[in-house]
């Protein structure tokens, strides 16, 4: 039997010195924190190419995942085709799929449609700008794709507050199972000192610290609720918030017809709003959502829906979403359409209610992170943040919270019934309230006579 044929492939890639430790790592898990324009995308793409062309497993499959599929295409697709050209056997533009000569595949995906990865098995994945992913994508979709092949993962990006990317970075620093590389601009040697000096002069301190010094402590740029959520954390209002079975539960919804639906579950207690649970799902039917709500061990008082839940559709037989939900969840009396105040007024209402809010850190984790990251659209031409929100995975949780903020004041807090208190009158303390009313009537009649 002849020895397997060995092919020599020279890729047009020369690693920057700062990334050599990354390429030489041996751990299964890795966290790569790098400043803007450090070249982490080029390094990541070439890392995937090297893994693909040296794979011993037949038909190995690797993935590059960005927050959006369109972003993956614009950022990484041309790099992948250029650097892999000497080893490429085929390219599928529609599927963003490249096949190497040895039969390995490298494919681009977006975390905005993470379900496209369900059912696949990967030998390795690179998750770019992981801080912009929905927190649930890793556990619900990506991690299971690595199980049967014992695949590896690199979590990369630039800091954006203490979100799930920070948690990965923190875990990587503490565990020998992780490789961790943090490249601030002041230490990487990639950008010249003159450019760093100019950046310092033209950016705010928070912008520079976050984008170029890889600071997880800098404020999230353009965040609507950054101050309020930081105050909630500092005040201990994000932690364990148990469900009180003696109080009713309210829900606030934002309904996504092509993307996510978000639902907050909350109770009102003495002027406080207790966020006890949160649910988000993509592509769910009305029946699916009703099943989720009905499956919670809660006694519901009212469900708050956005104004577009009134719209009747032909696909539903001429019934609106609120009518469909009412048929499954206790009747129309338990539903209320929230007044449409507009986005800006709703954001102001949310800012007013946030100081009263207590969040269950575990059950509301994804919703909490959405409120932290919900931010303004950035105008590249004017180099300033617009007043309008950026539409991303945080939009639906934040919109549902606006429904809560507008609706909660209309709900009078329901206090538990007080114990009976006796009326103590007379020497024997035996007089009843009826006795008192009878005595009052007798005196009033005598006065009239």
Q: What is the pLDDT of residues 368-424, one digit of tens each?
A: 989 998 988 876 556 567 778 888 889 999 999 999 999 986 554 444 555 545 555
Which pair of tokens denotes residue 438? 């009878």
Residue 319: which residues within 8 A CB-CB, separation 6 or more? 312, 313
How many angstroms separate the CA atoms of 279 and 262, rounded? 6
Which pair of tokens denotes residue 409? 């004041």
User: Mean pLDDT across the chain, nearest whole number?
Assistant: 88
Residue 50: which residues within 8 A CB-CB, separation 6 or more? 11, 23
Pairing mode, if any, of strands 300-305 and 335-337?
parallel
Q: Are 425 and 438 in contact (CB under 8 A)?
A: no
Q: Are 385 and 376 in contact (CB under 8 A)?
A: yes
Residue 99 forms beta bridges with which residues?
Answer: 90, 105
How many angstroms separate the CA atoms of 272 and 236, rounded? 14
Residue 312 has pLDDT above 80, yes or no: no
pLDDT band at 4 (very low <50, low <70, confident <90, very high): low
The secondary structure of residue 112, as a DSSP letter, is G
Query: For 29-86, what is each residue's pLDDT tens digit?
Result: 999 999 999 999 999 999 999 999 999 999 999 999 999 999 999 999 999 999 999 9
pLDDT value at position 314? 52
Residue 190: which residues within 8 A CB-CB, separation 6 or more? 16, 18, 35, 37, 38, 39, 183
Query: How confident is the model over 75-101, as a mean pLDDT?
Result: 97
pLDDT value at position 405? 95
Helix (H, G, I), strand (E, B) or coil at 320: strand
Residue 282 forms beta bridges with which residues?
Answer: 260
Pairing mode, if any, of strands 357-360 and 272-282?
parallel
CATH of domain 17-199: 3.40.50.300
Same fold, 17-199 and 226-410: no
CA-based radius of gyration for the chain: 29
Query: For 196-219, what is each residue's pLDDT tens digit?
Result: 999 999 988 888 999 999 988 776
The secondary structure of residue 161, as a DSSP letter, is S
How many angstroms separate the CA atoms of 52 and 102, rounded? 8
Helix (H, G, I), strand (E, B) or coil at 307: helix
Tell me the CATH class for 226-410.
Answer: alpha beta
Residue 156 has pLDDT above 90, yes or no: yes
- Residue among 373, 11, 343 nearest 166 (CA): 373
Which pair of tokens denotes residue 164? 């799930």
Domain ranges of the chain: 17-199, 226-410
């Amino acid at each position: 039997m002849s020895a397997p044929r060995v092919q020599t492939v020279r890729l047009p890639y020369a690693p920057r010195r700062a990334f050599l430790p990354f390429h030489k790592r041996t751990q299964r898990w890795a966290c790569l924190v790098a400043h803007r324009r450090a070249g982490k995308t080029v390094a990541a793409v070439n890392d995937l190419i090297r893994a693909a062309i040296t794979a011993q497993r037949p038909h190995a499959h690797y993935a590059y995942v960005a927050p959006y599929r369109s972003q993956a295409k614009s950022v990484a697709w041309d790099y992948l085709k250029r650097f892999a050209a000497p080893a490429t056997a085929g390219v599928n533009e529609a599927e963003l799929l490249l096949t190497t000569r040895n039969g390995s595949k490298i494919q681009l995906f977006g975390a905005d449609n993470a379900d496209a990865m369900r059912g696949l098995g990967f030998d390795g994945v690179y998750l770019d700008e992981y801080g912009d992913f929905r927190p649930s994508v890793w556990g619900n979709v990506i991690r299971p794709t690595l199980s049967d092949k014992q695949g590896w993962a690199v979590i990369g990006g630039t800091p954006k507050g203490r979100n799930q990317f920070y948690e990965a970075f923190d875990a990587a620093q503490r565990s020998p199972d992780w490789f961790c590389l943090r490249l601030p601009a002041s230490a990487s040697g990639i950008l010249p000192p003159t450019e760093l000096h100019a950046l310092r002069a033209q950016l705010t301190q928070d912008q520079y610290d976050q984008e170029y010094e890889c600071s997880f402590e800098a404020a999230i740029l353009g965040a609507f609720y950054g101050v309020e959520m930081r105050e909630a954390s500092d005040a201990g209002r994000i932690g364990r918030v148990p469900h009180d079975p003696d109080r009713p539960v309210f829900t606030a919804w934002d309904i996504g017809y092509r993307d996510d639906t978000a639902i907050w579950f909350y109770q009102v207690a003495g002027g406080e709003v207790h966020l006890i649970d949160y649910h988000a799902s993509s592509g769910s039917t009305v029946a699916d959502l009703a099943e989720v709500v009905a499956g919670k061990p809660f006694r519901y008082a009212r469900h708050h829906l956005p104004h577009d839940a009134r719209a009747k559709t032909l696909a539903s037989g001429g019934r609106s979403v609120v009518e469909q939900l009412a048929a499954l969840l206790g009747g129309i009396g338990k539903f209320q359409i929230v007044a449409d105040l507009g986005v800006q007024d709703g954001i102001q209402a949310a800012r007013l209610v946030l100081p009263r809010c207590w969040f269950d850190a575990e059950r509301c984790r994804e919703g909490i992170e959405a409120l932290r990251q919900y931010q303004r659209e950035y105008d590249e031409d004017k180099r300033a943040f617009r007043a309008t929100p950026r539409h991303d995975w945080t939009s639906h949780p934040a919109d549902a919270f606006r429904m809560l903020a507008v609706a909660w004041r209309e709900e009078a807090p329901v206090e538990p019934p007080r114990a009976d208190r006796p009326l103590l009158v007379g020497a024997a303390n035996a007089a009843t309230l009826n006795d008192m009313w009878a005595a009052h009537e007798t005196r009033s009649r005598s006065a009239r006579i």
